[in-house]
Structure 1
């Protein structure tokens, strides 16, 4: 089956949505090629990644407050850390579901200065951990490794740092890296979302050139 990779300004309306969503068309089209579907996927993935990071950070605060409360034997960290963390996670969860089920506004400029894929996120997180451990190893006294309390503190800080990196870097980067696959799956399994794409397909025109509606 052959596909056209250089549609005219109005040719996108001549093909059904499944044509533009097909993996075959995406495979033979350069990854740098611009299309309406790719703009939607990128914007949707960026918003979902940002709100997912908020959910993760809120969960980390909840966990940190609970662990400190247990370790210190006081409930003071709960209202100062766990409760705000739970509120942040709940609020971000509401917005995550909202942006997941709607078409994003692609007219807004979305700036992403973090990794955009799982591989990049793992490399960045690994670099941060190596730098942290290296600085501690260079600055700590040789006898510091013999102090159980100091070692336990270091392990706790490392565990917290790993959780924070997972929540703020790895999870959103993974979501953004899979933005196209996520959009294709959403269109295939959610009739309401698919109807939004069908409506957008019928009305959208490229305001800047002759980019087609797809491929994804």
Structure 2
């Protein structure tokens, strides 16, 4: 796999990290052109999105426990779902912090089958909700709409579905879609992370040619 950038690349030492991170260079380079920085950003965003989804799923389990407790009139579901949910949230938060603060291994193939940005995620989530509500409206009996208990159950199920879509689809897609901007902000705000990029810049060489380190 070769790396392509807009301008003709120069040796790594001839360009500082700020040059490769600059928005000006990114603006004059095709969005689909590959580079080392873009591979780092995309891999980092994919890992962060995956662990963020895990954090969200833990929160959804806690929400499910609360919903069932309200529906059943007992607090038993709260610890049954809340404790595993809290454990998943804490564990995924630890790994999220790790991948956020380190350079990812870009050699590993990462397959992202979900939406790659917020707009796509909102469209997908909206479609799922429309189908879900449409199926319920089509199959429900007329008396269901006058039954407060049935409507309460529908509202709770809908709340759970929305939480699931936010955790598993919208949040990861948002992180993935903003991965390059996130990397640029991280490099500007975190001296340790910037030092990792500086070290990578000094040692990395394109294994397939003489392409530059960026753009981002």
- Please report the TM-score for the alignment, with normalisation by the length of structure 1: 0.94
Q: How many residues align structurally?
A: 212
Q: Please report the RMSD computed on the Cα atoms of aligned residues, expressed in angstroms.
A: 1.4
Contact 1:12–1:214 (8 Å) recurs in 2: no
The residue number in structure 1 matching 2:44 is 44
Question: Separation in 2 of the partners of 1:64 and 1:158?
Answer: 11
Contact 1:60–1:163 (8 Å) recurs in 2: yes
**Structure 1, gaps ≥5 residues long:** none
Matches within 5 A, 1:22-61: 22-61=22-61
1:184 partner SS:
helix
Q: What's the CA shift string for 1:85-111, capped at 9, x where partnerless?
A: 000000000000000000000000000
Question: Separation in 1 of the partners of 2:195 and 2:33?
Answer: 25
- Please report the TM-score for the alignment, with normalisation by the length of structure 2: 0.94
The residue number in structure 2 matching 1:192 is 192
Q: What's the CA shift string for 1:105-140, capped at 9, x where partnerless?
A: 000000000001000000000000011011111111
The residue number in structure 1 matching 2:7 is 5
Q: Where in structure 1 do 4 or more consecutive aligned residues deviate above 4 Å?
A: none
Question: Separation in 2 of the partners of 1:143 and 1:66?
Answer: 27
The residue number in structure 1 matching 2:73 is 73
Question: Separation in 2 of the partners of 1:85 and 1:17?
Answer: 41
Cα deviation, residue 207, structure 1:
1.4
Q: What's the CA shift string for 1:26-64, capped at 9, x where partnerless?
A: 011000101000000000000000000000110111122
